[in-house]
Amino acid sequence: MMTHGLTDLPTLLARVISLVLLILALLVCLASAESNRIVVLSGQDLKPYQEVLAGLQQSLAKQGITVTVEIHALQGNQAKAQSVLVDVKRNGAKLVITLGNQATQAVVREINNLPILATMIVSADDIRSAPNATAVLLDFPIEAQLQWLKRIIPNAGTVGVLFNPKENQLKVDMASTAAKKMELRLAPRSVETPRALPDALDEVTRTADVLWGIPDSVVMTPHTAEPILLSTLKSKVPFVGLSTSWVKAGALYALDRDYLDIGVQTGELAGKLLSGTTGSSLPPMYPRKVTYVLNLKTANVIKLELPPDLIKGALQVFQ
């Protein structure tokens, strides 16, 4: 009898361990289900991020959603992000909202059993591997970008674009198709390393009517801003910048966002997720409001006359 009991001991221990693990898993699920909070991880504490958070809270209040909203400003502190995520996994949450690429990437890596809602990210690449996530993006649809280009620079026929193919080949292919429908010709030039930029920039400014800037970690960086701006100004080729800061530095114009409304959009998606809609059934959304900024000094340098109503409608004008 004693020998038989000893023989069964490993089996008994295995069953006990399995039972303990099952109980722990149930406790985690129970904590997640009972937790009445939204956890927000904000990568920065800059004004656009503050406006998004204000819009989010306005939207939740308008919908009558009364859950606790915990906001954690990470400021690039990875240790703080990990601490917040450990707490989320231990104590649960109804929803995790992220602002910015770093916060989004950290949450997608760690959280797979709770809905994730990302914003302040340019594209959906950061959440593509997460079926439990959706987003409100910063980028505008390609068609909308090209429509604005035609409105502001109506005589443009050939649109140059510099890009790293490893990062933006698909986007450039889609833009080529969209441009044809608008009677524009896209003239892409691949730039795989920063060293290849000067030659590519020289070719584009000689052959294109406008240079369209798209987010690209090789081409559009703080280090490449000066040569791009100097080359386009010297060649009198309009340059479509990525943001207000690019326009202030010398780009002709850039599309910009209404960050408060992006926060409201985020709140509306949050309401759907809290009501049980899955992230995978909610495709990422583009900003629904488009604003733009202009640089009149640049327009004068490149001899481009902008209509008064276009100038009047700009969110900001540099001159």
Domain-by-domain residue ranges, the chain? 30-139+259-281, 142-257+290-318
Q: What is the per-residue pLDDT across 273-309, written as a single tens digit (0 to 9) for each? A: 999 999 989 999 999 999 999 999 999 999 999 999 9
Q: What is the per-residue pLDDT across 224-271, written as a single tens digit (0 to 9) for each? A: 999 999 999 999 999 999 999 999 999 999 999 999 999 999 999 999
**Angstrom distance (rounded) from CA 171 to CA 153:** 22
Name the fold adopted by 30-139+259-281: Rossmann fold (3.40.50)
Say what the pLDDT of residue 11 is: 63
Confirm if 259 and 48 have CB atoms less than 8 A apart: yes
Give percent of the chain above pLDDT 90. 86
Say what the pLDDT of residue 242 is: 95
Nearest to 296 by CA among 288, 308, 278, 284: 308
Q: What amino acid occupies position 196?
A: A
Which has more confidence, 54 or 15?
54
Same fold, 30-139+259-281 and 142-257+290-318: yes
Say what the pLDDT of residue 31 is: 44
Q: What is the per-residue pLDDT across 65-88, written as a single tens digit (0 to 9) for each? A: 999 999 999 988 999 999 999 999
Pair type for strands 210-212 and 158-163: parallel
Tokens of 197: 């930029």
Give the mean model confidence (pLDDT) for residues 9-15: 59
Q: What is each CA distance from 21 to 16, 26, 104, 105, 151, in whole angstroms?
A: 9, 9, 29, 28, 62
Query: What homologous superfamily is domain 142-257+290-318 in, according to CATH?
Result: Response regulator (3.40.50.2300)
Lowest mean per-residue pLDDT among 26-30, 59-63, 142-146, 275-279 = 26-30
Confirm if 122 and 243 have CB atoms less than 8 A apart: no
